[in-house]
Structure 1
Amino acid sequence: MSTNFDGPIAGVLGGMGPLAGAAFATRLTMLTDAAVDQEHIPAVLWNDPRVPDRTQARLHGGADPLPWMQNGIARLEQAGAKIIAIPCNTAHLWYDELVASAHVPVLHIIESVADDLDRRGLAPGPIGLMGTPATLKLGLYQKHLEARGYQTLVPTEQEIADFCVPAIELVKANRVAEAFEPAAACIARLQARGARAVALGCTELPLAVPHDRRAALGIPLTDSIDALALAVIDWFRAQSASGKAAA
């Protein structure tokens, strides 16, 4: 076997929250078409839960998470990462600053979700959005999806408070099974308003709505964890193909 230690390695800026970061690493492995260990994607996970709360920072003047995220990217680059994936949607409110401080490409989770919607052939049509208050109120998804031709349906402020926030907080508190009911209630409300699909636009939400319970909800769900993992897989395949071509 080759001892090329400098091949393509994915860096995962996790910890926001820590279970979502760990779940992303698991889904990256599970979604990779591999028969043996050596066909999987080399990856480094920086799962630092000390990053200050992103919603508190953006909406309520809380501590700035940017230096913590920049530190994580620097650590991943030191470990050999050639690309950065950030399995936290709200963190992408600082995407431009993170790209400016990074020395390797940084994937965009919302663009990955839009790619997943395209892959499923769901355009044109209204897409329901779920996420943190900052992600939804500051239009992070809306501007990206609408630029790609999608209409967006956002929960009301009361629905965000009653359904999105509890589902996310329960996952962060390791009470994952309890998170399904509020998440499913929000999905049902968005579907009743005409959504053709719902984007789980916080990386806690795919954990609140496990894969084995999704079919019963009767609506396609695009999962920001899986969408980002598929973007990493696409990147790795492209890197591997270019490496073979160069050889």
Structure 2
Amino acid sequence: MNTSVDRAPSEGRPPQKYFPGIIGGMGPLAHTTFEQILIEQSMKRGGRRDQDHPLWLLLNAADVPDRTDCLLGKAEGCISRLIAHGRFLESAGVDFLVIPCNTAHAFYEEVRLHLGIPWIHLIDCATQFLLENHPGIRKIGILATNGTLRAGLYPASLTEAGLTPVSLEPDSKLQRLLMDTIYDLGWGIKATGSQISPSAQENLEAAVEHLAKQGAEIVIAGCSELSVGFYETDTLALPWIDPLEIMANITLDLAFGRRSLPVARPSTKRQKCAKVDNSMKQPAIVSRTREYYNSDEVLSFQRLIYDNSDHCSIGLYDGNESIHDAMRHTVEKMASRLALDASGVVLDLGAGYGGAARHLARTAGCFVDCLNLGEGQNRRNRELNKEQRLESQIRVMEGSFEEIPAEEGSYDVAWSQDALLFSSDHRKVFREVHRVLKKGGHFIFTDPMKSDDCPDEVLGPILARIHLDSLSSFSLYRNSARTIGFEEVEMIPLPGQLTEHYRRLLEKMDAHHEDFVAACGGDYTGHQHRGLAHWVAAGEKGYLDWGILHFRKPGFGKTP
């Protein structure tokens, strides 16, 4: 058997880094649905021809005994068959496994020890999706087979993540009806496929309505056949998520190198799904920054001052353009220094509302991870991504750039606008960025800085307002970059733009003072006005600096 895999890119498709193997047949409808979703999600990412989609290898493992029967002691052989099929795909050259059957994950721990490639954990990835995309939801409804419920797969994963699972009682009438909806040989989904019977639809609606009455805010389709049924049922009492769609997007991310491949035998939950770990203890400045950007006053102020723009960083002014247009010009100028295309993966540090990320995703076709502390900004970022159909290209993560939740060599570009000043340790940030960049990767950013000859004592009013001890400078950033191992690409000093930007914001506050007081309160409005005045005064005296800083990690990579 020829096990070599051609990973070279087809014309218009980025190079494929990893080769997925799918263990299907549990049941066959589950894996055909999963493949259909894979194609649909690939098309959302720009796939238009056969050659634009990734290679994968499917094994229709219809000989695996019923997973629920095995868990209930009515059959045996699941573990041995899963090991055999996993090893077969491994010998064929696949780099990782996905199994579109929820209940099969009850055997995950026993099976993975006998494999030399990772099995991506469907249940944990669904939990991680909820944390990242529905951070305000705490009560999660679960509909699943008796085997999945008795194995406690979703409750264990959700509870560990701080979420509250809500499910049907295993011996209840509704659960028996749900099992019939899946298994009945006459009208069950396994028998009818996507032609969902009226009885199946009625049972799905009743089960979801019951979970809603129990306080559930969203439902997980914890069985592959239920995903099929939900797609054909329009009148559900709650929104729902499809683990198959989540797994399809993770499969595409892994195939094209957007995510790092987990280890084959993970010892932690994070490794099963390359999860974002937000549990680390953060420095005081990070905590203050998170608290500040989560406040209602800040969110209201930014909506007013930026006219609800999705940009919130310093702009480039060349006349009478609006603040929004000036901020967009900064993004365009920074992007022009890079050679991004559809194969690129970008990390946006302190991404705010995601304006830069959407610009890069639209114009270059690349993928962007937005790392940001503010939950309100992240929520709006996700909403805008969904509205503009960019959610498959942009991932929003809550976290600090002092502890970047990514593996070594994950990104082609690290990008940041006016956020690094909120770090307590700039060299630590540079080390983290250096770690997660690929060889030849670029680090480009802007930041409010002090001039190289600025006396330390003159910036007191500015630093006190934003709870900082100091500002960096061009020379300090250059020295940090050189010490960590970066090569300097270019420095573009633009100090007058910072002063002009804050002057424009101050003028807007004066022109709409009553609106700001009504939205943010008098005390906060006065505090912001005084703060902006300090920035303008220091800028006019030549004590402040700003511009574009561009560095490169040595090694082979794209050139700007």
What is the identity, as a one-letter code, of the residue corresponding to 2:191?
A
TM-score by length of 2: 0.41
Deviations 1:83-112 (A, max 9, x none): 100111111111012211111111001012
Aligned residue in 1 for 2:23:
13
Distance 2:112 2:65 in 1: 19
The 3-state SS of whatever aligns with 2:38 is: helix
For residue 103 of structure 1, give the secondary structure of its aligned residue in structure 2: coil
Provide the residue aligned with 1:226 in structure 2.
245
Residue equivalent to 2:141: 128
Alignment of 1:182-201 (within 5 A): 182-201=203-222
> Structure 2 counterpart of 1:206, which letter?
S
Q: Which residue of 1 aligns with 2:95?
A: 82
Matched, 1:167 2:181: yes
- Number of the residue aligned with 2:299: none
Q: Which amino acid aligns with 1:46?
A: L
Q: Which residue of 2 aligns with 1:141?
A: 154
The residue type equivalent to 1:21 in the other structure is H
| 1:71 and 2:84 matched | yes
CA distance in 2, matches of 1:200, 1:3: 35
Deviation at 1:7, TM superposition (A): 4.7
Counterparts in 2 of 1:34-45, with a 5 A limit? 34-45=47-58
Match of 1:30 in 2: 40
Report which structure shows greater RCO (CA 8 Å, sep ≥6): 1
Which residue of 1 is the match for residue 69 of structure 2? Answer: 56
* Alignment check: 8 A CA contact 1:122 1:196 kept: no
Aligned-residue offset at 1:188: 1.3
Q: 1:220 to 1:79 in 2, by over 3 A?
A: same
Q: How many residues align?
A: 243
Aligned mates of 1:63, 1:111 — CA distance in 2: 25
AA matched with 2:190: K
SS at match of 1:77: helix
Report which of the two has the higher share of helix.
Answer: 1
Say if 1:124 and 1:151, in contact at 8 Å, map to a contact too.
no
In structure 2, the CA distance between the partners of 1:121 and 1:68, relative to structure 1 (3 Å rule), is same
Equivalent pair of 1:10/1:81 in contact (CA under 8 Å): yes
138-147 or 122-131, larger mean C-alpha shift: 122-131
- Taking structure 1 as the reference length, the TM-score comes to 0.89
8 Å contact from structure 1 (residues 9, 81) kept in 2 = yes
Offset at residue 165 of structure 1 (A): 0.5
CA distance in 2, matches of 1:153, 1:243: 38
Q: Secondary structure at the match of 1:62?
A: coil
Give the Cα–Cα distance (whole angstroms) in 1 for the partners of residues 109 and 50 of structure 2.
35
Gaps of 5+ in 2: 9-15, 259-342, 346-409, 413-437, 440-555
Gaps of 5+ in 1: none
Aligned residue identity for 1:155 = L
Q: For 1:99 and 1:61, locate their aligned partners in 2 and report how far apart those are by CA, in whole Å.
A: 23
Q: Is the 8 A contact 2:18 2:257 kept in 1?
A: no
CA–CA distance in 1 between the matches of 2:136 and 2:77?
36
Q: Which has the larger radius of gyration?
A: 2
Contact persistence 1:128–1:198 (CA under 8 A): yes
Aligned to 1:102: 115
Distance in 2 (CA, whole Å) between partners of 1:36 and 1:84 is 25
Q: Runs in 1 of length 4+ with deviation above 3 angstroms?
A: 2-7, 239-247
Kept in 1, the 8 Å contact 2:140–2:166? The answer is: yes
Deviation for aligned residue 1:181: 2.3
1:180 alignment partner, one of 186, 189, 201:
201
Q: Structure 1 residues 123 and 109 mapped into 2: Cα distance closer, same or farther (>3 Å)?
A: farther
Question: What is the distance in 1 between the residues matched to 2:240 and 2:161?
Answer: 18
Deviations 1:16-51 (A, max 9, x none): 111101111111111121233333221111112111
Contact 1:128 1:153 (8 Å CA) reproduced = yes
Identical aligned pairs, as a percentage?
A: 28
Residue 134 of structure 1 and its aligned partner are, at CA, apart by: 1.1
Are the equivalent residues in 1 in contact too, given 2:18–2:254 (CA < 8 A)?
A: no
Counterpart-to-counterpart distance in 2, 1:138 and 1:25: 26
What SS is found at the alignment partner of 1:60? coil
**1:122, distance to aligned residue in structure 2 (A):** 4.3
Residue type of the partner of 1:236?
A: A
Query: How far apart are the structure 2 equivalents of 1:72 and 1:97?
Result: 14
The AA in structure 1 aligned to 2:192 is: N
Partner letter of residue 173 of structure 1?
A
- How far is the alpha carbon of 1:66 from its aligned partner? 1.1
Between 32-41 and 195-204, report the one with greater CA deviation: 32-41
Tell me the C-alpha RMSD between the 2 structures. Answer: 2.3
Q: Which amino acid aligns with 1:75?
A: F
Amino acid in the other structure paired with 2:138: G
Post-superposition Cα deviations, 1:136-176, rounded to whole Å, max 9, x if no partner, equal 122111010111111010112212112x2022211211354
Q: How far does residue 61 in structure 1 lie from its aligned partner after superposition?
A: 3.7
Residue aligned with 2:21, SS: strand
**DSSP-derived class of the 1:127 partner:** strand
